[in-house]
Amino acid sequence: MKNDITNLISFGKIIEITACDGNRKIYQESSLFRSGIDHDLKKLTLPGIITENTQVEVREMFKDGDFLAAFEGIPTDWNYKWLSQEQVINFRKQFPNWLRLGGNCTFVLIKKNEQLPFKILELTKNLAVLQIYVRGDSCSVSVRELDHPSIWKAKDRHRLIVPRQWKY
């Protein structure tokens, strides 16, 4: 895609998050995110969704950009770019080596309310971005608005985790 600022780095790899019942929330997972959990995640406590096993892909930023630019460039509908909180928890447990190391970020798009239907004209009302930091053997997570103005530098090779868009 012309506006893409990320490259797919997991091509050819099967990265499949196990099915979820929608009951677990990130703010409850202090053993997984030992370095800290953003207090704003405690506000996202509405019931989650049930999901099947979900294959994901890992992308890495090769151009500077903000959250909107990074996720906008992924060639699929916005409704297929986000993961549930419980899927993020399972990804962290199952595939820690795919998270960006060294204090740089891995970004994951989530819904603030997973039960609400998706509205393309209201992207920033129900979508937010998780920032996962891994430093040594410890990990922290924070949440930011999708339209947050920070520009992320390509030299830091930040990663994005999104549902897989292609099949073998």
Angle subtended at Cα 5 by Cα 76 and Cα 119, rounded to the nearest 5 degrees: 35
For residue 87, the SS3 value is helix
pLDDT at 102: 83
Number of domains in the chain: 1
Residue 122 lies in a domain: yes
166 pLDDT tier (thresholds 50, 70, 90): low
User: Does 126 reside within a domain?
Assistant: yes
Q: Is residue 123 part of a domain?
A: yes
Residue 168 in any domain: the answer is no
**pLDDT 10s digits, 18-35:** 999 999 999 999 999 999
Cβ–Cβ < 8 Å for 146, 127:
yes
pLDDT score at 167: 54
Interval 100-156: pLDDT, tens = 988 789 999 999 999 988 777 788 889 999 999 998 888 999 999 999 999 999 999
Q: Which range of residues forms the domain containing residue 17?
A: 6-163
Q: Which residue has the tokens 């090769």?
A: 62
61 in Cβ contact with 157 (< 8 Å): yes
Rg (CA), the chain: 15
Residues in a beta bridge with 152:
65
Number of residues written out for the chain: 168
Tell me whether residue 1 is in a domain: no
Within a domain: 124: yes
Task: Please answer whether residues 61 and 160 qualify as being in contact, where contact means their C-beta atoms are separated by less than 8 angstroms.
Answer: yes
Query: If pLDDT is split at 50, 70 and 90, which confidence band does 2 have?
Result: low
